[in-house]
Structure 1
Amino acid sequence: MTLIKSISGIRGTIGGEPNNNLTPIDVVRFAAAYGSYILSDPNISEATIVIGRDARISGAMVQALVSNTLIGLGIDVIDLGMATTPTVEMMVPKENAQGGIILTASHNPKQWNALKLLDSKGEFLNAVAGAKILEIAKNDAFDFASVDDLGSIKEDQTSLEMHINAVLDHPLVEIDAIRSSGIKVVVDGVNSIGGIAIPALLKKLNIEVVELYCEPNGYFPHNPEPLKEHLGALSEKVKETKADFGIVVDPDVDRLAFIDENGEMFGEEYTLVACADYVLSKTPGNTVSNMSSTRALKDITEKHGGTYYSSAVGEVNVVTKMKEVNAIIGGEGNGGIIDPQLHYGRDSLIGTALFLSLLSEIKIPVSELKKTYPEYFMSKGKIELEPTMDVDFLLDAIEKVYQKENPNTIDGVKIDFSNSWVHLRKSNTEPIIRVYTEAPSQKEADDLMNRFKKELLELGS
């Protein structure tokens, strides 16, 4: 059982002992710390926070704890109920709120939950703000409101409709072409809010939808991370129903992956590549992805005359870099699409609409579309952290071993070889070291990943 406190929020497994797991005491303490941080701004006399959650079994309990803690601080709450992460992000500025909290552990299994924290722009907090909140929580530096100054809760059931309408209003979403395309899609909603949001968008676009695991009850039918090894049922359903492709999202709908018409993985890394290819063909410009993402985005960007930039892993880091270089589109290779014309957040709804716009324009099968992109293969491994492991020591040691390769240490250690790369970093969301590689073939990528896992374990022994 685990509790991870980081600048991006608090994440852990439900139950157990305080400070070691995500218990009600930890939820209240961290919600109070976030609310106290918001109220510490001398320019804020009254505060409103937007709250939404995915369909996790623990979601209603955690939401009640967070909402009532904020009320106890004198903060008003706008309760969206079940809502996607990008929907909450968009609602914060729409409501002129001072912040937002998304209750989701993203791709983690059902026993996990988390508080993901937003600023007044609906974007994830930066490192400075996150550190301040951790300090407030550590010191229990709270000042709760008197009975006459308690906050209030207002429920809002319109947020998904707002989000869908914003996607439909996007200048690059070709509504008429999509509606006349005759496309049929299978949607795996992993029994969370994506099972409501994605079909609702598709039906507005006149897409025939086959629903798979779209009941938002929080009982995930498979590991909720949208990777090939978890998507056998979706693959079979696409072939069985003769659908044009399949869509899968994670529980909070900020990661998006596709299955082609043959039941084969399009590749979550290529979600961003395909969407960027379409956007850049209409509005050329720069792109950004994190250091663990495929080189194919760089190739596509340069094909359209733009410049590609990389950032440290994490949505806030990608967004910061996108603003710095005025990127037209960006995201993360885990299937996260960030389109600043809509908002600065990973968003599977806009990603779905852009992908459909591309397919409606080129009129070729998804498998044929994949063949038009540079072919790279990735391997994504991990090492479970033992209490005795010194991660900083291990990464420093690897950096020294490969010093001649000029490793990048902005975020862990990334080593670029002539036709491949490896990125080693401690996860912000799980007690693991991630080992990502990319090479010209799957065997080369797998061999490189296993080689570096072995080297790390030997250094740690």
Structure 2
Amino acid sequence: MTLIKSISGIRGTIGGTVGSNLTPVDAVKFASAYGSFLKTTVQVDRKLKVVIGRDARISGPMIHNLVVNTLVGLGIDVIDLGLSTTPTVEIAVPLEQADGGIILTASHNPKQWNALKLLNAKGEFLSGADGAKILELAEAEAFNFAEVDDLGIITENQAYMDIHIDEVLALPLVNIDKVKSKKFKVVVDGVNSSGGIIIPKLLEEMGVEVVKLYCEPNGHFPHNPEPLKEHLGDICKLVVEEQADFGIVVDPDVDRLAFISNDGEMFGEEYTLVAVADYVLSQTSGNTVSNMSSSRALRDITIKHGGNYQASAVGEVNVVELMKATNAVIGGEGNGGIIYPEIHYGRDALVGVALFLTYLAGQDKTVAELRASYPQYFMSKNKIELTPQIDVDAVLKLIFEKYQKEQISTIDGVKIDFASEWVHLRKSNTEPIIRIYTEAPTQNAADVLAERFVTELKSIAGI
């Protein structure tokens, strides 16, 4: 069982002992720290206001009630969206003129996990400095709760998934009429969470025929919720059986997006951002950003359209920071996360779906043909489970010393750029693992490179 406290929030497994898992006590303590942080940093002449939403995890209602009422106990008003998505909460915070937001979701982690993801008044993830202050407050447990006449008030608002859809459809680069004219048929895997409600609803608004797979928001994930090829056999098969134009897969909180091509093959979650960026850049000149673990294909597409590409450290807050600094018109992460500043600075599967459909409607190509038109890179994504005895920093330092004659970056772990391939080694912010990402011109070359570094890391770490 695990509890991970980081500057981006608190994430852990449900049950077990306090301080080692995400127990009710830990949820209350961390919500108290976040609320206390807002009370000491936000200067307003009214009660503070926080927006809260959750995904459909089994533990969601329990964690939700604990967090909401902890904020009420601190004298903070709560706008309760109930069942929602991460990007929906991000949009709601500024629309509600709130002082922050909390999304209760462990994103792509299995059902035994849950988490508190924390937002600022812009509906964006907190900075590292602010996250560190919240961790300090949680450690000190110096909380000052409100007296009875000053308790917060809960206001329920379940309209925000519809508002989110309306905001997406109002984007200038989304062409509903063009999409409707194509009469697309799409299979949706909502992994029995919030995406099973909001993605079909968006598609139907765009005139798309929807075939639903695992769209019951009961929190019983029918497969590992991370949208990777090895977890998606059912939808790959159903896309072919239904003769659908393509398939859509989202993670439980709907900030990651993967497509299945019409032939039942993975479009590749790395290429979600590539395709959407290709469309955006064809209409709006500008720059792009992705993280260091993302495909070189985005760089190639950006150069084709006359823009500049830059890579940030892994983590949405890092991507957003670099996007703002470079005035990027589109960006995101290679895990299928689309960040389109025209609507908000957060990964948003709805935005990705609407822009991709509009782009596809203007192409005389199938989804498989569109995928084949892009630069061909292949990735291998692996991980090594960590034990408390392993000094990850020391292990990565030895790797750096061994390969220091290569083109190498230590902005985030160690990334080594070889002539035609690369490897990125880094400690995860959300799980007790080292991630090993490789990319090469063929799948075999990417797999071989990954196996080589997995072996080297295990040898150095003594695993």
> Normalised by the shorter chain, which TM-score bucket?
over 0.9
1:87 corresponds to which residue?
88
Deviation at 1:174, TM superposition (A): 1.1
Separation in structure 1 between the aligned mates of residue 139 and residue 126 of structure 2, nearest angstrom: 18
Separation in structure 2 between the aligned mates of residue 368 and residue 42 of structure 1, nearest angstrom: 51
1:151 corresponds to which residue?
152
Deviations 1:241-287 (A, max 9, x none): 11000000000000000001110000000000000000000001100
Pairing 1:36–2:43 present? no
Report the 3-state secondary structure (helix = DSSP H, G, I; strand = E; otherwise coil) of the residue aligned with 1:407: strand
Which aligned pairs between 1:61-460 and structure 2 lie closer than 5 A?
61-460=62-461
Deviations 1:120-146 (A, max 9, x none): 000000100000000000000210001
Separation in structure 2 between the aligned mates of residue 196 and residue 383 of structure 1, nearest angstrom: 35
2:6 corresponds to which residue?
6
Gaps of 5+ in 1: none
2:24 corresponds to which residue?
24
Contact 2:438 2:450 in 1 (8 A): yes
Separation in structure 2 between the aligned mates of residue 18 and residue 395 of structure 1, nearest angstrom: 32
Deviations 1:5-31 (A, max 9, x none): 000000000000011000000000000
Report the 3-state secondary structure (helix = DSSP H, G, I; strand = E; otherwise coil) of the residue aligned with 1:362: coil
Report the 3-state secondary structure (helix = DSSP H, G, I; strand = E; otherwise coil) of the residue aligned with 2:188: strand
Separation in structure 1 between the aligned mates of residue 9 and residue 456 of structure 2, nearest angstrom: 31
Deviations 1:193-227 (A, max 9, x none): 00000000000001000000000000000000000
1:15 corresponds to which residue?
15
Amino acid at match of 2:35: G
Separation in structure 2 between the aligned mates of residue 141 and residue 335 of structure 1, nearest angstrom: 39
Deviations 1:352-409 (A, max 9, x none): 0010011100131000001110000000000000121111111111111111114201
Separation in structure 2 between the aligned mates of residue 177 and residue 100 of structure 1, nearest angstrom: 35
Separation in structure 1 between the aligned mates of residue 396 and residue 139 of structure 2, nearest angstrom: 28
Deviations 1:420-446 (A, max 9, x none): 000000001111000000001101100
Report the 3-state secondary structure (helix = DSSP H, G, I; strand = E; otherwise coil) of the residue aligned with 2:435: strand
Separation in structure 1 between the aligned mates of residue 169 and residue 399 of structure 2, nearest angstrom: 48
Separation in structure 1 between the aligned mates of residue 89 and residue 408 of structure 2, nearest angstrom: 37
Contact 2:386 2:433 in 1 (8 A): yes
CA RMSD of aligned residues (A): 0.6
Separation in structure 2 between the aligned mates of residue 147 and residue 399 of structure 1, nearest angstrom: 57
Amino acid at match of 2:403: Y
Contact 2:101 2:121 in 1 (8 A): yes
Amino acid at match of 1:74: G
Separation in structure 2 between the aligned mates of residue 68 and residue 350 of structure 1, nearest angstrom: 32
Separation in structure 2 between the aligned mates of residue 280 and residue 42 of structure 1, nearest angstrom: 38
Deviation at 1:42, TM superposition (A): 5.5
Amino acid at match of 1:32: S
Deviation at 1:92, TM superposition (A): 0.2
Taking structure 2 as the reference length, what is the TM-score of the superposition? Answer: 0.99
Contact 2:421 2:438 in 1 (8 A): yes
Contact 2:68 2:78 in 1 (8 A): yes
Separation in structure 2 between the aligned mates of residue 259 and residue 37 of structure 1, nearest angstrom: 43
Report the 3-state secondary structure (helix = DSSP H, G, I; strand = E; otherwise coil) of the residue aligned with 2:144: coil
Deviations 1:75-103 (A, max 9, x none): 00000001010000000000000000000
Amino acid at match of 1:134: L
Report the 3-state secondary structure (helix = DSSP H, G, I; strand = E; otherwise coil) of the residue aligned with 1:425: strand
Separation in structure 2 between the aligned mates of residue 347 and residue 244 of structure 1, nearest angstrom: 22
Percent identity for Structure 1 against Structure 2 = 67
Deviation at 1:44, TM superposition (A): 3.1
Contact 2:12 2:114 in 1 (8 A): yes
Separation in structure 2 between the aligned mates of residue 253 and residue 307 of structure 1, nearest angstrom: 28
Separation in structure 2 between the aligned mates of residue 270 and residue 223 of structure 1, nearest angstrom: 21
Amino acid at match of 2:249: V
Separation in structure 2 between the aligned mates of residue 141 and residue 398 of structure 1, nearest angstrom: 42
Gaps of 5+ in 2: none
Give the length in aligned residue pairs.
461
Separation in structure 1 between the aligned mates of residue 43 and residue 71 of structure 2, nearest angstrom: 18
Amino acid at match of 1:302: I
Separation in structure 2 between the aligned mates of residue 269 and residue 407 of structure 1, nearest angstrom: 22
Misfit runs of 4+, over 6 Å: none
Separation in structure 2 between the aligned mates of residue 109 and residue 71 of structure 1, nearest angstrom: 29
Deviation at 1:62, TM superposition (A): 0.2
